[in-house]
Amino acid sequence: MQFFVQWISNIIVFILVASLVMMLIPNSSLAKYVKFVASLLLIVMMLQPIFQIFKVNIKDVLGTYQSKTLQADGSIKNEINNKKKDIEATERAYILNQMAVQMKKSVEKSFSKEFKQQIDTVSLEVDEKKSSINSPSDVSKVIVTIGKNQSQSNDVQPVQEVSINSSEPTEMDSNKQLKNDIRQFLAIKWQLDEKQIDIQLEGGE
């Protein structure tokens, strides 16, 4: 019985103090927050007998709520970070694709005229540690696939007599020299180091 008397007394005293405080605070945005906090405290005080019956510690209840709130905040932050990484990866891939298209267009005509062949594809590789990509010089590797012109590929070559001559360069040597020439040509056009360019011949090594 004494518990309930003390409980009701505490509520009455709290209401009187809260009313006095509200009278002293001017009508502003601060008053809204004070009313909100006072309402929460009043609800907790009114529920105190229920907590007492079920032997529930108010501090434990508030602590559990705070812990769940922190966990939820952590999950939201992780999800936001993952979304951010996905967006950055998509943007990075788009920039590389557009850069590769522009690099290919810039040398297509002169390359075909010089080597009588065509560039099939240009793909770029960038170091993951590279935060931004502003020019071809930021690229770690340029992979270029070379194919023959359509007119050449459709030509039917006559059957020639096969003869073995050790003094003539082999097809492997010819391809190697061709790749070096192409690499040097593209490095000058794109203002890159030759080591950055990887040449792949269609149907070759």
pLDDT in tens, 64-115: 666 666 666 667 777 777 888 888 888 888 888 998 999 999 999 999 898 8
Closest CA to 117 of 205, 203, 195: 203
In this prediction, residues 7-25 reach a mean pLDDT of 79
- Dihedral of CA atoms 88, 91, 97, 103 in degrees, nearest 10, equals -100
In DSSP notation, 47-98 reads THHHHHHTT--HHHHHHHHHHHHHHHHHHHHHHHHHHHHHHHHHHHHHHHHH
Residues shown for the chain: 205
Q: 112 and 51 in one domain?
A: no
Closest CA to 119 of 111, 127, 130, 128: 111
Q: 113 and 37 in one domain?
A: no
* Domain housing 22: 2-56
Do the domain assignments include residue 148? yes
Do the domain assignments include residue 47? yes
Neighbours of 145 (CB within 10 A): 14
Q: 196 and 112 in one domain?
A: yes
Structural tokens at position 106: 């810039």
CB 193 within 8 A of CB 187: yes
Q: 186 and 120 in one domain?
A: yes
Q: 46 and 134 in one domain?
A: no
Q: 45 and 116 in one domain?
A: no
Q: How would residue 167 be classed by pLDDT, with cut points 50, 70 and 90?
A: low
Q: 50 and 117 in one domain?
A: no
Closest CA to 139 of 190, 183, 84: 190
Q: How many domains does the chain have?
A: 2
Do the domain assignments include residue 185? yes
Do the domain assignments include residue 66? no
Per-residue pLDDT of 125-166, as tens digits, reads 888 777 777 777 788 899 999 986 555 445 555 544 545 555
Q: How would residue 47 be classed by pLDDT, with cut points 50, 70 and 90?
A: confident
Do the domain assignments include residue 131? yes
Do the domain assignments include residue 86? no
Evaluate if residue 62 carries a pLDDT over 70: no
Do the domain assignments include residue 161? no
* pLDDT at residue 107, rounded to an integer: 92
* pLDDT at residue 65, rounded to an integer: 61
Q: 108 and 196 in one domain?
A: yes
Instruction: Give residues with Cβ within 8 angstroms of 202, minimum separation 6.
Output: 120, 145, 146, 147, 148
- The label of the residue with tokens 């966990």 reads 71
Q: 107 and 51 in one domain?
A: no
